[in-house]
Amino acid sequence: MTPRHRLDHRNTDRTTGRRFIARSLALLGGVLFGIAASASEFDPPIECRSCDSWNQPQDAFRIHGNTWYVGVAGLSAILIDTGDGLILLDGGLPQSAQPIAQSIESIGFSVADIRTIGLSHAHFDHAGGIAALQRLSGAEVIASPHAAKTLKAGRLVNDDPQFAFGYANTGFPAVEKVRIVRDGDTVALGDVNLTVVFTPGHTPGGTTFTWKSCEAGDCKAVVYADSLTPVTAPGFRFTGVPADVLRESVEKVAALDCDVFLSPHPFFFDMAEKLERVGDSNPFVDEEGCAEYAYAGLGALEQRLSKEASDTGSAAEP
């Protein structure tokens, strides 16, 4: 540094400090304003019986290593930091997109760094926010062939168990650009290899994702297992091929290498109860989680088949 540089630095120290503070405030304001000012990027909310309770606020938190929960209270959204961009799994309802974006920013990441958005299944409560999140981030959306068809249309295909509820009850904002992935594909980004596992049944395009998450040298196999419940509109019967498909998915999930079990609805992995137990050990590490979840789904299927056999049927509103 020359004497002139030292003199300039000394005489402008206070000015530089003020400029630094001004730039910092501007940057912070840009982050906060960016979410608020992009309100036009968000789609109108969907109304349903459970939507308000599902969409209650939930603080973002680290699950393990590179894996974070950024969803709302009743609908999961999982963020993976790959070291070279972010992967987001699921987008909740249309009205979940803004809380998800805010949660991502609240833990020091940027929505603009989302490179890939994956989908568990194309129902409005998990796919509804994806269109807005893709517009905000420019991320590539990946989905199974059946889910991609549904995403692009913004409506269920007629072989979906909930199709008969009708478009007015099941439609969601369509996603323009979707890359199809296949069963067993690996999506590589940064230091993460995200494996695609098709698990149809709850929907024909149901997909489970697996990856490794490491923290201080402790690496865990994480599984984001798709829904395995036989929830349908009136008139749909699981007896026959649909039951066989769901049973096969149950067995696939139960057999996965699984240290940390997650799913599209956080009550399936007891999120609230586990958060109360966070301490010296990580309650989200649960090697039996996937198998217990899978066989609970199988039990629900057997109950459903028993009702169908007695012609009582079974349906649940979306």
Q: What is the mean pLDDT of residues 252-263?
A: 98
Name all domains of the chain by residue range, CATH numbers in brackets.
38-309 (3.60.15.10)
- Residue 280 confidence class, pLDDT cut points 50, 70, 90: confident
Secondary structure of the chain as H, E, C letters: CCHHHHHHHHHCHHHHHHHHHHHHHHHHHHHHHHHHHCHHHCCCCCCCCCHHHHCCCCCCEEEECCEEECCCCCCCCEEEECCCCEEEECCCCHHHHHHHHHHHHHCCCCHHHEEEEECCCCCHHHHCCHHHHHHHHCCEEEECHHHHHHHHHCCCCCCCCCHHHCHHHHCCCCCCCEEECCCCCEEEECCEEEEEEECCCCCCCCEEEEEEEEECCEEEEEEECCCCCCCCCCCCCCCCHHHHHHHHHHHHHHCCCCCEEECCCHHHHCHHHHHHCCCCCCCCECCCHHHHHHHHHHHHHHHHHHHHHCCCCCCCCC
- 49-62 pLDDT, tens digit per residue, is 999 999 999 999 99
pTM summary value? 0.86
The answer on pLDDT for 165 being more than 60 is yes
